[in-house]
Amino acid sequence: MSTTALTLYVLVWPVVVGVVLLVLSRAFVAEWLEARREGRDLI
Amino acid sequence: MNQIETVTFGAGTVLLLLLVFYGGTFWLSARIGKKQESADGYMTAGHDIGFGISAASMTATWIWASSMYASATSGYTYGISGPIHYGLWGALMILFIYPFGKRIRAVAPRAHTLAEVLHVRHGRSSQLLLAGSNIVGSLISLMSNFIAGGVLISLLSPFTFVQGVFMVAGGVLLYTLWSGFRASVLTDFVQVVAMLGAVAVIVPVIFFAAGFPAAFETGAGNLTSQQGSFFSSTAFLEQGAPYIAAVLAYAIGNQTIAQRLFAVREDLIKPTFVTATVGYGAMVIGVGMLGVLALYLGIEPADGDVNNIVPQMATSYLPGLLVALFFVMIIGALSSTADSDLSALSSIVMADVYGQNVAGRDGADPRTMLLIGRATMVVATAVAIAFASLRLDILDLLVFVGALWGALVFPVIASFYWEKVTNRAFTVSVLAALAVFLPVRFSLVPLNGVTGLVVDVLAIVGVGVVLGLMAFGFFGLRVAQVVAVLAAVVAAPFALGAVHEYATLSGSLVAYAVSTLVCWVMSTTSGATFDFDSVKKRVGDYDTGEIPVTSAAPADRDDDDLDPVR
């Protein structure tokens, strides 16, 4: 593998982790707001 | 490398970090705590959790300290494909269980444990076989996480290993004890944010601080041709293949997964488990890359222990502030799994031991149940602390238990789809598989000549069973049968005469094969029938008294000798 390919191979995982973090955070905030609006417990 | 100074903390700094972490999680769990918790909430949080919390919880639960260390070890040992052969198959454990999870949830929408459903489906012996294996697995996992905490704290501070174990165990018990699974799931979200955020920052910082990408060229000589190959056969045979065999076994044998299957809103099972698959895979493979970087740099692990690679890389190349973030990441990983293990253990004792076998469903008192759940957490923590001080080789134990779980996979899955599977078929097939597994795994009999050939043939059948079951979840019976036959045919030339030399792999595959063959033969000839619609009427919430129960076992079951209930 070339140096560029190896660099991408190592650094792509933190990027994917960041995307998952964003997805989970957005979903959590939406659920929290919905629970608050409906006056019920989040969990 | 030896000239690089490593970061360590004073006692005050570590205490402050632990106080912030465990104080924060305790505060969070106190926010949702109720003066009178419900038994069902304590076990499954009302079966109605949303996508964000459940996906975060599944991700956090499956990521534990050992998975990060082991992924980096795989990268350091097998080279650039090493982290893939650890993290990818570990992630697929989450993915491949969700089709079965949807079926299990459809059969028993308001169950708390998988074993609880087996009690209604079959009877006590099947239930206790699964519940027993769940308990052993969760206790080992709990012990492992306490050990990881003790090691990390003793590595980075003046505190001793035992002091570190007590700090972690006390912190986890503190925030989990009152609200159980509800506290575990909510705090998982905060812990996963800390973990994922830390990895997104720490891996790139170490990458550049250690002199990459230039070090890929200067350090290429440190890799063998196998380590430098993305398609390394050594990595596949020694790390990947045994792990593929364990994909379904870990998922079926682990109550922490089943608990989340029963807790998430039923229509959100697929997105929850797919997201957790990606989150777990990216995080664990990402941390595993630190092992690959260490290999390129020619780093020797401290004390010759490859488990030290990750902390070594962190303390060598990160500034103090990011080492603190790394510390929180590892503490978050082990705490999120430990609190899930405590919740899993308490739900098994509450539902399977007390709810089904001591008081009986109609006699179970939710308040007593809650007390038993909390007592279980305290006892489990004490047991795990006691065993943690022995410093057993956890990964060896887990590989062993994972192979044992292989004996349960086909009987458990078949029980949810096939009405002919009986309690006798389930129990006998699992025990027969264990009887064959143990001598193969520990080479108690010489595996040469005919014996070796028999093991090879059974292992080939095991390959077909593993891949067939994986296909069955997604594509149904016909495709699964084709995949199983093709897999066995393709594996045969490579496995015949060879696979019995790999004790761990062949033991695991033989367990799959024997339990499948025995269960299939006994079920085919049983003539039994079962109404799956009856399960949801017999397994449900304890707090509402909504379940009409007339007896503890199905009326059409034909093998009462294995069930002392009747």
Q: How confident is the model at residue B393, as a pLDDT?
A: 67
Determine the average pLDDT of the residues in B238-266: 87
CB contact under 8 A, B51 and A27: yes
The answer for residues whose C-beta is within 8 angstroms of residue A40's C-beta and 6 or more apart is none
Quick check: B8 pLDDT over 80? no
Chain A residues with at least one Cβ partner in B under 8 Å: 1, 3-4, 6-7, 9-11, 13-18, 20-21, 23-31, 41-43
Percent of chain B at pLDDT > 90 equals: 64
The per-residue pLDDT for range B395-425, each reduced to its tens digit, is 667 677 777 789 999 999 999 999 899 998 9
Q: CA-nearest residue of chain B to A35?
A: B50
Tokens representing B457 are: 């043939």
Which residues 230-269 of chain B have a CB within 8 Å of chain A?
A: 230
**What's the structural domain count of chain B?**
2
Asked whether residue B410 is domain-assigned, the answer is no
Does residue B451 lie in a domain region?
Answer: yes
Q: Which two tokens stand for residue B296?
A: 């390129």
Cβ of residue B72 closer than 8 Å to a chain A Cβ: no
On the question of pLDDT at B553 being above 50, the answer is no
SS3 string, B243-273, reads HHHHHHHHHHHCHHHHHHHHHECHHHHHHHH
Q: What tokens were used for B51?
A: 């996508």
Are B247 and B348 within one domain?
yes
- DSSP structural state of residue B308: G
- pLDDT at position B546: 45
Mean pLDDT taken over chain A? 91
- Is residue B204 within 8 angstroms of chain A, CB to CB? yes
B370, B428: one domain: no
pLDDT digits (tens, 9 = 90+) for B329-384: 999 999 999 999 999 999 999 999 999 888 886 788 997 999 999 999 999 999 99
User: What is the nearest CA distance from B373 to chain A, expressed in angstroms?
Assistant: 19
DSSP designation for B318 = S
CA dihedral B299, B305, B311, B316 (to 10 degrees): -30
Whether residues B337 and B462 share a domain: the answer is no
Domain count, chain A: 1
B535 domain residue, yes or no:
no
Contact B259, B45 (CB under 8 A): no
Q: Do B200 and A15 touch (CB under 8 A)?
A: yes
Q: Show the domain range for A37.
A: 1-43
Residues of A in contact with B278 (CB under 8 A): 16, 20
User: Is the pLDDT higher at B565 or at B206?
Assistant: B206
* Residue B264 and residue B324 in one domain: yes
B412: in domain: no
3-state secondary structure of B443: coil
- Let me know whether B182 and B46 are in one domain: yes
Share of chain B above pLDDT 70, in %: 93
Is residue B31 very low, low, confident or very high in pLDDT (cuts 50, 70, 90)? Answer: confident
- Residue of B225, B289, B326 for testing the chain A interface, max A β-carbons within 10 Å: B289
The predicted structure's pLDDT at residue B214: 96
Q: Which of B82, B96, B83 is nearest to B483 (CA)?
A: B96
Q: Is B283 part of the contact surface with chain A (CB cutoff 8 Å)? A: yes
3-state helix, strand, coil in chain A (%, to 5): 85, 0, 15
Tell me how many degrees the CA angle B150-B401-B380 measures, rounded to the nearest 5.
Answer: 50
Condensed to tens digits (0 to 9), the pLDDT of residues B499-509 reads 888 888 889 89
DSSP 8-state symbol, B176: H
- B210 and B164, same structural domain? yes
Residue-level pLDDT at B375: 98
CA distance B195 to B335: 11
Tokens of B35: 């003066």
Examine the pLDDT at B86 and tell me if it is beyond 70.
Answer: yes
Question: B442 and B382, same structural domain?
Answer: no
The verdict on B52 touching A (C-beta cutoff 8 Å) is yes
Residue B561 reports pLDDT greater than 60: no
| Residues in Cβ contact with B333 at an 8 Å cutoff, skipping those fewer than 6 apart | B60, B63, B64, B65, B67, B68, B191, B195
Q: In terms of domains, do B61 and B177 share one?
A: yes
pLDDT at B548: 38
Does residue B202 sit within a domain?
yes
Q: In terms of domains, do B310 and B434 share one?
A: no
pLDDT, tens digit (0-9, with 9 covering 90-100), for B40-74: 999 999 888 999 999 999 999 999 788 888 999 99
CA A2 to chain centre: 30
B488 Cβ partners below 8 Å, 6+ apart?
Answer: B460, B461, B463, B464
Instruction: Indicate if B325 and B462 belong to the same structural domain.
Output: no
Q: Do B286 and A30 touch (CB under 8 A)?
A: no
Residue B324 has pLDDT above 70, yes or no: yes
How many residues does this entry show for chain A? 43
> Can you give the pLDDT at residue B560?
35
Give the pLDDT of residue B2.
44
Domain that holds residue B337: 11-391
The CATH code of the domain that includes B331 is 1.20.1730.10
In Å, how far is B162's CA from the nearest CA of chain A? 33
User: pLDDT averaged over chain B?
Assistant: 88
